[in-house]
Amino acid sequence: MGIMKIDVMPNFRKSLKEGLFLGAILVSLISSCIIMGRKKIFWNDEIYSWFLLSDPSFLHMWEAFSDQINNTPPLYFLIGWLWAQIFGDSALSLRLFSALGIFTALVLIWFILRRYYDFWPVAIGLAMVFCTSQLIMEQNTEARMYGLYLATAALALFVYDCICRTLEPRNKLLLINFLAHAALIHTHLHGAFYSGTLLVALIVYDFFFKKLSLKVYLTIVGSWFTILLYLPAFFVQIGVSKPQGWLPEPVVGDLINLLLWRNTFLNYNSLFLLILITALGYILIPRTQNPIGQNKKKLEDTKHLLLAALSWVVVPIGVYLLSKIMQPIFWSRYFMPTALGIGIILVHSLHPIIKIMGLHGEDSPKSVFFLKRSMGYRIFVLLLFLFFLTIIWIPLKNSISFKQNPRLAESSIIIKNHSDLPVVCQFSYFFWENHFYDPQPEKFYFILDEEGALAGKSGMFGAQEFKHMTAFLRKYPEHLHDQVVESETFLSRFDRFIVMDYLDYDKTCPEKVKGLKKAESWNDMHCPQWMENKILQNPEYRVTEVEQNKANTFLLVERVKK
């Protein structure tokens, strides 16, 4: 009896090739994060993350989390706090945590899709989503929960695929499904929408195949009840949004921009270039040699994935309708898992197009042997490879060409000319920037003005900003050094000071704002009334405009009489 010879080279080559392509995307994402991290300063929301994750005491961190600093489920802060204890709480470290979360999502979705699709459609399709998506590239370099959010969504999708491939899921798989959905809804409040639509997709899939996976349904629904553990903190946190939240009411254009128009989930220039390459390949490769027929059985097995992908693409539409009927909860980055649905649909669409060119991957039939030796075929493969390299270069290119807004440097120069005076920042974002990055952070103050913040003229963010800053003062007074103060306290201490305000510093905001474009440009969203009520209308003070830059007016305030 002879010894059976096992050829391990094809599997080795396959693993090596996939590892190299995944590694190339990893290098792109991590390098982009590192390069950007050296240029980009912490912005408002990242600073909120930093305060909690850098807290040396876990119990104190949890106490601060349960206050009105964030309106977010706890998983990111629980895992992120541990990350910070091991790898440090620097801006780069916390941003790398996000980048690794995004790469984890890529690996999970890659493994799912390679069960059904050939190498090139998966490599090209996922590279286009993960390396050109505006949302993903932004969150890849920010210390926020969105990297973990994408990873937990990918995990839920991975388990969903395993369940659909199994006739009778074992208890271990059911437990993992429970934990995956619990992780998703405890990372972001909108995770509940993605968990719910995945359950609907599973029920629809079972209906068509005349199945009833009752245990699976119960594990998903059961995971939702874990939110009860978070409710005490949630009820405190939602007090921030009273009397109103900061999110504007979305308009139809916002939904169109999210799904179809702007580079949110996919760069359409890269899609157009891919169409040109495939058209050229169709011309270069002789049609008589194009392989006929596809592995239809394999593609039929992807119905459950397409159901899940479509359900996740529909989520923004459902949330848009809820925002019109109830309270606005529509914001672009809240829908990051939809990028995974777009990726699945893109790979599914690319599979037959690229396959007909002869790129069958590891299951290539002998009929394409001579095709692979043709010059046209080789040119097409080279073009695809160059296209892949071009796509993964985009995050790096964006990071290298990124230029930090010069406002902070300009402000420092202006303020240096009045180095003996304290500076009041009318917007907490300006305060945090200078508090963290100015050479003289002790000069900057933020005024707690409850009356002005809750006034209708202060804009949709006024009340929330006041509550955030009050919570920071409660939980982290040692970091603020009496720089977040009540109006009366500040005015009793200083007779001369600089106010760093908006260009239209005496502007009032409307009570409601419609459309994300206005909110993204911060137009009509925030009109602090402290300067208007306490200074401009007070004859005791003289106000002189010192200078302006592109974003701010600098005002010299002097008390003329007491």
Rounded mean pLDDT of 345-362? Answer: 77
Are 346 and 423 contained in the same domain?
no
In terms of domains, do 176 and 212 share one? yes
If you ran DSSP here, which 8-state letter would residue 514 be given?
Answer: B
The answer to whether residue 43 is domain-embedded is no
The alpha-carbon radius of gyration of the chain (Å, integer) is 27
Kindly state whether residues 395 and 412 are assigned to the same domain.
no
**Of 359, 386, 401, which closes a domain?**
401
Q: What is the pLDDT of residues 128-166, one digit of tens each?
A: 999 999 999 999 999 999 999 999 999 999 999 999 988
**Phi, psi angle pair for 373, to nearest 5°:** -90, -5
Report CA-CA distances (Å) from 180 to 156, 304, 336: 5, 18, 17
Structural domain includes residue 217: yes
Please tell me whether residues 379 and 441 are part of one structural domain: no
User: Closest Cα to residue 282, out of 207, 377, 361?
Assistant: 377
Q: What is the pLDDT of residue 280?
A: 84
pLDDT in tens, 417-432: 677 899 999 999 999 9
Which of 383, 401, 419 finishes a domain?
Answer: 401
Based on the domain organization, do 381 and 429 belong to the same domain? Answer: no
Residue 19 domain flag: no
Q: Assign 221 a pLDDT band (cuts: 50, 70, 90).
A: very high
Q: Per-residue pLDDT averaged across 233-258, rounded?
A: 89
Q: Is 133 among the domain residues?
A: yes
Distances (CA, A) of 62 to 53, 74, 147, 550, 558: 10, 9, 21, 39, 43
Q: Which two tokens stand for residue 167?
A: 């006739």
Judge whether 26 lies within some domain. Answer: no
How far are the Cα atoms of 1, 9, 341, 342, 374 from residue 348, in angstroms, in the given order? 45, 28, 11, 10, 26
Domain residues for the domain of 502 are 407-559
With cut-offs at 50, 70 and 90, classify the pLDDT of residue 299.
low
pLDDT at 408: 62
pLDDT of residue 213: 86
Do residues 349 and 467 both lie within one domain? no
Short-list 298, 283, 304, 437, CA closest to 360: 298
Q: Domain count of the chain?
A: 2
Strand partners, 499: 424, 555
- The reply to whether 332 and 231 lie within a common domain is yes
Domain boundary, last residue among 401, 424, 446: 401
Among 130, 121, 115, 117, smallest CA distance to 164 is for 115
Residue (of 42, 40, 143, 43) closest to 93 by Cα position? 143
Q: Please indicate, yes or no, whether residues 78 and 223 belong to a single structural domain of this protein.
A: yes
Do residues 57 and 146 share a domain?
yes
Residues 226 and 279 in one domain: yes
Q: What is the DSSP letter of 56?
A: S
CA 25 vs. chain centroid, Å, equals 18
